[in-house]
Amino acid sequence: MGYRVSYSHEFLSEIKTRLAVSEIVSRTVSLKRRGREFVGLSPFNNEKTPSFTVNNEKGFFHCFSTGEHGDIFQFLMKTQNLSFSEAVEILAESAGLALPTSSPEETRNSEKRSSMLEAAEVACKFYEDRLQSTDGNEAKKYLKQRGFTEEVIRKYRIGYAPFGNVLKSELPKYSVPESIALDVRLLNPGRDGRETFDFFRNRLIFPIFDQRGRALAFGGRALTDSDQPKYLNSPDTDLFHKGDILYGLSEARKSAIEKSEIIVVEGYIDVVSLAQSGIDNSVAPLGTALTEKQIITLWKTCPEPIICFDGDQAGRKAALRAANNALLLLKPGYSIRFVMLPDGKDPDDILRESGTNKMRDFLDNAIPLYEILWRSLISGRLLDTPERRAALESSVDSIIANIKDSIIKSHYKQKMRSKIFNYFRSLDTNFGTKKSNSTKFKRSKKVRLRAKVETSIDPDRVRQKILLAAFLNHSCIWDYAGERLGKMIFVDSRLDLLRQFAIKLITKHSSLESTEICTKLMGLGFDKELKSLLCSQGAYFHASFARPETDSDTVRIGWDETYELCFRGDFDRDVQLAAEDLVKQETDSALKVFKSLKNQRQKFNDINKN
């Protein structure tokens, strides 16, 4: 968008002078005056007693529960995940100030951009009005068949583009020049000397907004089979680049930040259907694979977006492209997860046929990035010879080579080699049983079943569940084990989120009992995870010391042993992989990683000897 990266002190001070902190904060937080200050519930965590204060005289906000502090610029940056320049642009507009420009060309571009935004807003209102007129009867009938209420139609500002050149005839009434209408692509240029004409005709209109809720472009859905293509988006313009924008982000952002979850579906119908069903934190790319820029935008909202594309061949290909794009960008704590819908189904199908709870089940069981890569690698492969197995390993290495972060790359090597080993072992076990005679078959069947159980259990995942279960059940180890648990990253992303929330709650409410902490966690939406974790077939099945009735000394011993097992295996595998990398490529970076991991392992072993 061409944001400026620096502004004068005078300009920023003028914005602060014109806007009270309480005015900006109250758009997000419900404030009550208390003396010279305002108080409210913190926007940075879930709390019942207000700990968030605003002081207009001093020009800052302060959150006593989290320590967050700052001025109006920092408030927007922290609560809406904006850059400083984006926050300045929003606040300058609220203050009635034009952004400073540095050249005549920049001034012309800024004025043209403003005119294009105004034209897009005029068109947006026009389409909304036409939907509510008699012209929009067929469009309203379609929306009603979909089950869309007036509320969700208004929220997404859905409209209707009528037959003919009605928009073109309306634009002069709002002083929109034809040249600007062409730039925004509200009109199509005429060919062979013909006049310009409306870009969208007889289509249901879905406005496409930027993160600030300003109309930039439009998506149109055909209402009859004869109108092709079925979906038509505005082409790229100076305002709109489809690879940069996510449909529905301005509507989903607040909910996504609060839930720390954002869902990516294929199209705008899916976004609106999910919102209609109460899942109001979804977005969609615009007819393209999820781009690197869109992934970075998603990460500003939540560290592990969920990709939920259609369950057809095109949807699965798009998901795999998104996975490969994300691989290039991975950094500690940030990834993407995937929902694999049944064949031929899209999110709207699931909602209409099975309901919101079923859709929620799919989302809650999203698989991690490495898993979708692994499934794509083994799909349709014959692995019955050494050469074919070597080809699989080579493909795995090629994919991992795209990861730039050395620590993540090391973990991927460890994870993928473990999967290769277990997969080959399961193939060999099954292959061996086919040729057995009837007497040997009974014996080999036991071996095969045992191998299946062994390969289906991830030791890291089990140990992490044990550590968390014991921690939640025993307040006596909160201080003892909290720091170590806080530094871990769990394999299961949903369980890792539970770990993070548990530590935050315990840090804030250390006087509460274990059962009270679990009740709070259930209130935050973790009831399913807790029921699975704290049951006879959960962590207790593998480690009885995690049960709530166990004495404190036994819990401490069991927790320490499990923690050591959890990390000792990781360190040994990481050092081994780093050593192999060093042999393959004798570079300074490979040597640095090897030495670092070796030192970490030694420190860990030294600590656990004492």
Q: List pLDDT tens digits, range 134-151.
A: 999 999 999 999 999 999
User: Looking at the predicted structure, is the pLDDT value of residue 236 above 70?
Assistant: yes
Residue 535 CA to residue 550 CA, distance in Å, equals 15
From its phi and psi, is residue 583 left (phi > 0), alpha (psi between -120 and 50) or beta? alpha
Which pair of tokens denotes residue 601?
């392992």
Contacts of 402 (CB under 8 A, 6+ apart): 324, 327, 328
Residue 179 CA to residue 116 CA, distance in Å, equals 10
Confidence class for position 451, pLDDT limits 50, 70, 90: very low
Confidence class for position 595, pLDDT limits 50, 70, 90: confident
pLDDT of 285-294, one tens digit each? 987 679 999 9
pLDDT score of 591:
74
- Three-state SS for 331? strand
Assigned fold of 104-233:
DNA primase DNAg catalytic core, N-terminal domain (3.90.980)
* Greatest pairwise CA separation for the chain in angstroms: 90
Give, in degrees to the nearest 5, the angle at Cα 392 between 386 and 396: 140
Cα–Cα nearest to 129, from 241, 207, 181, 221: 207
Confidence class for position 110, pLDDT limits 50, 70, 90: confident
Confidence class for position 452, pLDDT limits 50, 70, 90: very low
Match 């790319």 to its residue by tokens.
Answer: 285
Contacts of 261 (CB under 8 A, 6+ apart): 281, 302, 306, 363
Of 1-10, 109-118, 367-376, which range is least confident?
A: 1-10
Which pair of tokens denotes residue 506?
């315990």
Residue 484 CA to residue 576 CA, distance in Å, equals 24
* Beta sheet of 337-338, edge-to-edge order: 282-283, 263-264, 306-307, 337-338, 367-368
Burial class for 16, CB neighbours closer than 10 Å (0-12, 13-18, 19+): middle
Share of the chain above pLDDT 70, in %: 87
pLDDT score of 183:
96
Residue 286 CA to residue 284 CA, distance in Å, equals 6
Q: What is the phi/psi pair of residue 367, to 5°? A: -95, 150
User: Angle 386-400/369-378 helices, nearest 10 degrees?
Assistant: 150
Per DSSP, the residues of 37-72 read: EEEE--SSS--SS--EEEETTTTEEEETTT--EE-H
CATH number for the domain running over 249-373: 3.40.1360.10
pLDDT score of 484:
84
pLDDT of 415-430, one tens digit each? 898 888 878 877 775 5
Contacts of 41 (CB under 8 A, 6+ apart): 29, 30, 47, 48, 50, 51, 52
How far, in whole angstroms, is CA 421 from its chain's centroid?
31
Print burial letters for 321-349: b (CB count within 10 Å at least 16), e (below 16).
ebbebbbebbeeebbbbbbbbeeebbbbb
User: Looking at the predicted structure, is the pLDDT value of residue 610 above 60?
Assistant: no
Which pair of tokens denotes residue 549?
């009735």
pLDDT score of 521:
87
Which pair of tokens denotes residue 598?
């070796």
Which pair of tokens denotes residue 426?
């399961």
Contact 557, 397 (CB under 8 A): no
DSSP H/E element including 421: helix 406-434
Residue 565 CA to residue 429 CA, distance in Å, equals 28
- The pTM of the full predicted model, rounded to 2 decimals, is 0.66
pLDDT score of 584:
66
Residue 504 CA to residue 486 CA, distance in Å, equals 9
pLDDT score of 437:
38
We find that the CATH architecture of domain 9-94 is: Alpha-Beta Complex (3.90)
Residue 449 CA to residue 430 CA, distance in Å, equals 10
pLDDT of 318-327, one tens digit each? 999 999 999 9
Residue 485 CA to residue 481 CA, distance in Å, equals 6
Which pair of tokens denotes residue 152?
């969700």
pLDDT score of 1:
40
Which pair of tokens denotes residue 125?
């209102």
DSSP H/E element including 38: strand 37-40
Residue 339 CA to residue 308 CA, distance in Å, equals 5
- Three-state SS for 446? helix
Long-range contacts of 424-431 (CB under 8 A, 24+ apart): 424/383, 424/389, 425/451, 425/455, 426/451, 426/452, 426/455, 427/383, 427/384, 431/384
DSSP H/E element including 68: none
- Three-state SS for 203? strand
- Three-state SS for 73? helix
- 331: β partners: 334
* Beta sheet of 231-233, edge-to-edge order: 159-161, 203-209, 215-222, 231-233
Which pair of tokens denotes residue 211?
């993160």
pLDDT top residue among 454 and 206: 206
DSSP H/E element including 179: helix 178-184
Per DSSP, the residues of 557-588 read: HHHHHHHHHHHHHHHHHHHHHHHHHHHH---H
Cα–Cα nearest to 210, from 109, 75, 101, 120: 120
